[in-house]
Amino acid sequence: MMRTHRCGELRLEHVDSQVTLTGWVNRRREHGEHLAFVDIRDHSGVTQCVVDNDVDVRAEYVIKVTGTVVARTGDTINSDLPTGEIELKPCEVEILSIAEPPPFPMDQRADDVDEMIRLKHRYVDLRRARMQKNLRVRSQVNASIRSAMVGQDFVEVETPMLMPSTPEGAREFLVPSRQRPGNFYALPQSPQLYKQLLMVGGLDRYFQIARCLRDEDLRADRQYEFMQLDMEMSFVDVDDVLSAAEVGVLDAAEAVTGVRPDSVERMTWHDAMERFGSDKPDLRFGMELIELTPIFASTEFKAFSTAGSIKCIRVEQGADQYGRNKLDGLTDEAKSFGAKGMVWLKVRSGEAGLEFDSPVAKFLSADEIAAIIATTEATEGDLILVIADEWATTCEVLGELRNRIGRPPVSEGPYKYLWVTDFPLFVGVDATTGRPKPGHHAFCQPHPDDLDKLESDPMSVRAQAYDLVLNGWELGSGSIRIHDPKLQRRVFELLGIDEEEADKRFGFFLEPFKYGAPPHGGFAYGIDRLAAILAGEENIREVIAFPKPQSGMDPLTNAPGAVDDGLLEELGIRLLPPAT
């Protein structure tokens, strides 16, 4: 190679060695009349080189430097750099490529640079230490996951990127067919169909690090394109799938951090909602939901008397932190999440003991006040936020408020992994058909203990479905699948899908199950999200080499863009005039 070492490798043990480094000029500083300091940088770090002052190199020039490693002494040692105890001198410099001034200072914090400028010049942005670290974290995650799956006898199989449209999921990206004008492929939202067919095909254990695409609005944890670990197993139950999936996740965390997280905690969906108001709770902090409904069984306070569920969260020593303006803001947020309102209670000392400073305190009896304080274990200076509504609304609103108030940044540890299990098989009722709506998808295996309630009380039936959560982010989800055609027909009937419609919509998928399908289940989790959390990033764009900004318009390539009229004609596509 053109180099003998990387720029961040040299130490005192290399003193007196002649070495050659290649990289970018990080900085150039004059040092008297005849000498200059040039810092050379690559992904591994920076080394200071002493060069002749006549050497004309500037920031981001690509250079090759040959020199002798010399120990620095006294106050010339730079303790902030791993290479700070040495330097190269004398040095010969060869310019490999000149560079214009970069579009932003390379030592400037990414947060201080407009994201569109960073993405337009992503090839420059990638040189930063932060991005170099993040992409290497992601590489470690991928390698650990692949090794973990192979080590458990999973077989890696690539599935098609061009597949039929299945409109039951998120909005798809469509690909026109040139050979069959007017017909379209879809890009995969996930390899769900194919991985189940691989189980029918007897593969037993499948995985791939799969690219998936969904035409959904972008946000901090969502891109049009994303990568997931996709897996499926035959002859398994829920415990088997969760145990196999955990290995790769924990191996990845250990590879990046050097520490293996504790085993993954498990919690039912109902308990997660009851305790945290979320199906993806962040377990790094407390502030659990507290049940108050029994206290107000015979209350005269109208706001509580008609509510099906009354719960609260206690903000320790929050009374003085939240003035009236902040509390009004929290109330508005609670309403935006679906609540009719929010009651706040500040705990103060009174003549008879602890009491509430609150606009509604006069509507509460002494017994109710005492019971709230005892149940919440409140102390002077605490703030209690109460929501009274239907159970689901009460839980969800308090869960949102809990996150707003207490959730630490992603970069703060520890890593708290959680399996959420036993999701509802159905959620809500379709306004058009009056039929239940699938909580996950129409092929989830109902919980065996709930099969007798499938027709009589479908909304109480649990699914053998599960999510993996890390620090409040949903990493992924999966389920045990229905492999019995009779049970599948029962579920379809509940959804209002008759046999003819089932054949029309899912026939290509259901037909193979007539030829002997093993019991099977699977799981998939987002590698972008896992890598972002392990890298301490709040946005998955920071662990993706070439992401799209929130607008979806790529400033680097200017995609999406118009195409030639001749190509559209060849594909049988005619554009509508712009909407006025």
Give the 3-state secondary structure of residue 17. coil
State the Cα–Cα distance between residues 223 and 56, nearest whole angstrom.
43
State the Cα–Cα distance between residues 163 and 191, nearest whole angstrom.
9
**Omega of the bond prior to 90 within 30 degrees of 0, cis?**
yes
Residue entry with tokens 């201080």: 112
pLDDT at 431: 83
| Structure tokens given for 58 | 């500037």
Helices (H), 152-237: 192-200
Please, are residues 288 and 275 in contact by the beta-carbon 8 Å criterion? yes
pLDDT at 288: 98
State the Cα–Cα distance between residues 274 and 395, nearest whole angstrom.
7
Beta pairing class for 417-421 and 265-268: parallel
Domains of the chain: 12-97 (2.40.50.140), 286-406 (3.30.1360.30)
State the Cα–Cα distance between residues 134 and 536, nearest whole angstrom.
9
pLDDT at 167: 64
pLDDT in tens, the chain (580 residues): 899 999 999 999 999 999 999 999 999 998 877 899 999 999 999 999 999 988 999 999 999 999 999 999 999 999 999 999 999 999 999 999 999 999 998 876 767 899 999 999 999 999 999 999 999 999 999 999 999 999 999 999 999 999 988 766 689 999 999 999 899 999 999 999 899 999 999 999 999 999 999 999 998 899 999 999 999 999 999 999 999 999 999 999 999 999 999 889 999 999 999 999 999 999 999 999 999 999 999 999 998 999 999 999 999 999 999 999 999 999 999 999 999 999 999 999 988 789 999 999 999 999 999 999 999 999 999 999 999 999 999 999 999 999 999 999 988 888 999 999 999 999 988 888 889 999 988 899 999 999 999 999 999 999 999 999 999 999 999 999 999 989 999 999 999 888 888 888 888 888 899 899 999 999 999 999 999 999 999 999 999 999 999 999 999 999 999 999 999 999 999 998 888 7
State the Cα–Cα distance between residues 250 and 262, nearest whole angstrom.
8
Phi, psi of 129 (to 5 degrees): -60, -35
At position 469, the amino acid (one-letter code) is V
Please, are residues 286 and 314 in contact by the beta-carbon 8 Å criterion? no
Residue 422 to residues 183, 192, 476: CA-CA distances in angstroms?
A: 39, 20, 15
Please, what is the average pLDDT of the chain?
94
State the Cα–Cα distance between residues 16 and 224, nearest whole angstrom.
53
Please, are residues 116 and 549 in contact by the beta-carbon 8 Å criterion? yes
- Model confidence pLDDT, tens digit, residues 495-536: 988 888 888 888 888 889 989 999 999 999 999 999 999 999
Taking the complete model, does pTM exceed 0.85, yes or no?
yes
User: 509 has which bridge partners?
Assistant: none
State the Cα–Cα distance between residues 57 and 54, nearest whole angstrom.
9
159 CB contacts (<8 Å, ≥6 apart)? 188, 191, 194, 195, 208, 210
Strands (DSSP E) along 272-398, which ranges? 290-291, 309-315, 343-350, 353-357, 383-389
| Structure tokens given for 206 | 């499948």
At position 496, the amino acid (one-letter code) is G
- Model confidence pLDDT, tens digit, residues 34-52: 899 999 999 999 999 999 9
pLDDT at 507: 82
At position 11, the amino acid (one-letter code) is R
